[in-house]
Structure 1
């Protein structure tokens, strides 16, 4: 008589659970390999892009509203257009774009951002005399050595008028995509760039103005969006004609530890114990009106759609997608730390915008924001911008005299 074989149900469950864990770890590994993979163009490049870029800068004549900065749009642009403002020709749909801004030491974030976004990207870069050669070589290297960036990203430059002579004399150097970049640059924290004030809103406006997309997300370069966000918004919102002109579609924002995997889907985010709401340690009320708890508990859906609406209150400053044509520009008087984003959202509120939170979309910042990690002049700059904000609110009352909405500190 053959012996019977008994298999414990508990043992089967344990084996299956281990298999699931192994598959999840392998999936995360593959995602990290994909996002952090090296440049995909090899060898030395000697195209005319770099020469055209330098020629554009040499001929710079456009000033910002204060007359302090030169603005040079489209020094390099997607679709192989090079410099010269010859138009933007990307392989992806032009209906939605991401606009962002940076200094040279944060340009490396563009690699992951372009791969995660997979759509039109408009990037404004701030530089100055002693940083400019490194900044321009970094931009050229990103453009020449990465197909996604070459196809879908447009670069713009902002620098002080006082730096023009130095920058216009920079000599073109070819890029070798197989070699590491060896140039050195000053490693500055946040907005501490010597005497130069970081002009967030000049940079944002420039990046936003240069795209012809119908809808736009204005974000920071170190915020990664959930996977397929541009395509999902295109398919599920724009093509379905769900979107409205005066509606801001909010993306909940989170932050995670350094050197941690950045979740790409809502399912991954909800199970990641390293993730927490953005700015929770620095200014929790700046993001709390998103209602993270409600967002986490929204019903599961394969489509991107509006989960719920929220009321704007000061000092709420969400990141959002909105119709470019109805979006007020950022006030360029705000520089350095404080009120530079919330001033625009305050104007949107008074102008009659509604705010809706999307169900599956989000942004994640790599690294936790901590109060004592800000630059030395943060407090004084914040106080100065607070006074600018009070004046700004007074101006809005006159500009939107028929509005019943208020925007008080």
Structure 2
């Protein structure tokens, strides 16, 4: 009897061992398969050639006349006096930067949807200007940071774009520069200098900001471009963010439908995504969701700053099928646990300004504005069937960049943000919404 029981126990042990071995083998094979797929996927991504912004211009005919409305002696030279210069909107006379508004002055027809794409640019990103013009059919207001010789590089590229793209007539451009490094431009023959529309990003003697201890004043650019907009509604965004199809007019149609429901303290969030290199830019939600399902699109900065652009209700947003019209999806406040959220939104020129003491290099440059909007009890209406897509490439997915060079700038921004928080805490102690989480 004992012998039979032992044999039975041995059989049970063997069966358990076989089951364990089976599942371990299965897990191992899945791991190998996943690793192999991941390796192939990474190799495919590495072999993809990143798209060139402005590449579509190359097939366009060049014009003898510029489509841009230049001021201050442009395009042949840049002439301005001290009386033409302005101080930035927030810091005013305390600022070390100066502004020259409307060096290019947009002319907007009545039929153009009155929502302005507000953005900023350096010489490195000039070729994104035609991409925005291509996809956004409303007015465009751009602040260009052009210290010293960067103005020569900037205008040399811009002049050719203005000879090739008719819709540049909708673009206004304003110059921002350090007071000690005014932009200069050598005399330049415009149309006869160019033979085609093949504009490339080539840089010679570019201004070295690090060498001169000058950071990129991203919030000066945002405020300047927003201040110069001539429409009630504005969308302050970054120049690498491409809008979904017909976003401006679809938004205005929605606002017409919901006429009267537009309080001052309400803005409209445009969800932001990024797409792998090698895929076409999605212009409809249907196309975007196909890429999300395939793992080729994720919400913006998912791998670099997960809390920055992961908006409330995102899981439901990416499962809700496309509809033709832009419509409200969810109305929320920027309160805990979304107190680190930095949405891009369509708002107005009455919204709080961006803090101009914060630099791009130091990160968290939108946080004071976001905190102020929370304390002012703003509502954030997340839009459906509208979105922005970062120019192809998912940041941080395949390798981490070395951002050690940012350390001193991060320290400066952190100190500035700490000062802002102390100011708020001391002046509004009794009325602070604790859910806004000052830290």
Q: TM-score, normalised by structure 2?
A: 0.75
Q: What pairs with 1:180-199 in structure 2 (closer than 5 Å)?
A: 180-181=198-199, 184-185=202-203, 195-199=213-217
Question: Does structure 1 residue 393 correspond to structure 2 residue 411?
Answer: no
1:380–1:40: structure 2 CA closer, same or farther, 3 Å change rule? same
Q: What pairs with 1:335-374 in structure 2 (closer than 5 Å)?
A: 335=359, 336-366=361-391, 367-370=393-396, 372-373=400-401
In structure 2, distance between residues paired with 1:45 and 1:306 = 43
Question: Does structure 1 residue 332 correspond to structure 2 residue 374?
Answer: no
CA contact (8 A) 1:226 1:265 kept: yes
CA contact (8 A) 1:343 1:389 kept: yes
Q: What pairs with 1:1-400 in structure 2 (closer than 5 Å)?
A: 36-38=56-58, 40=60, 42-45=62-65, 49=70, 52-53=73-74, 54-57=77-80, 60-64=84-88, 65=91, 66-79=94-107, 89-93=108-112, 95-150=114-169, 152-164=170-182, 167-168=183-184, 170-175=186-191, 176=194, 178=196, 180-181=198-199, 184-185=202-203, 195-238=213-256, 240-241=258-259, 242-272=261-291, 273=294, 274-298=296-320, 300-312=322-334, 313-325=338-350, 327-335=351-359, 336-366=361-391, 367-370=393-396, 372-373=400-401, 375-397=403-425, 400=428
SS of the residue corresponding to residue 129 of structure 1 reads coil
Deviations 1:169-219 (A, max 9, x none): 522331336153578415989986863210011000000000121111100
Deviations 1:254-279 (A, max 9, x none): 11123431100000000013111111
1:147–1:398: structure 2 CA closer, same or farther, 3 Å change rule? farther
CA contact (8 A) 1:290 1:318 kept: no
Deviations 1:267-321 (A, max 9, x none): 0000013111111111101222333212113354322111112331321101111
CA contact (8 A) 1:39 1:145 kept: no
In structure 2, distance between residues paired with 1:192 and 1:359 = 41
In structure 2, distance between residues paired with 1:314 and 1:321 = 19
Post-superposition shift, 1:343? 1.6
Q: 1:12 aligns to what?
A: none
Q: How many residues align?
A: 365
1:253–1:181: structure 2 CA closer, same or farther, 3 Å change rule? closer
In structure 2, distance between residues paired with 1:102 and 1:221 = 7
Deviations 1:344-399 (A, max 9, x none): 11111111101121011111112212273365422332232122112112223456
Deviations 1:21-71 (A, max 9, x none): xxxxxxxxxxx9x99354745244479837633445455432343442221
1:124–1:177: structure 2 CA closer, same or farther, 3 Å change rule? farther
In structure 1, distance between residues paired with 2:159 and 2:413 = 35
For the pair shown, the structure with the greater C-alpha radius of gyration is 2
Structure 1: unaligned runs, 5 residues or longer = 1-31, 80-88
CA contact (8 A) 1:42 1:178 kept: yes
Structure 2: unaligned runs, 5 residues or longer = 1-51
CA contact (8 A) 1:225 1:362 kept: yes
Q: Which moved more, 1:354-363 or 1:191-200?
A: 191-200
Q: TM-score, normalised by structure 1?
A: 0.80
RMSD: 3.1
CA contact (8 A) 1:101 1:203 kept: yes
Post-superposition shift, 1:95? 3.3
CA contact (8 A) 2:270 2:388 kept: yes
CA contact (8 A) 1:122 1:208 kept: yes
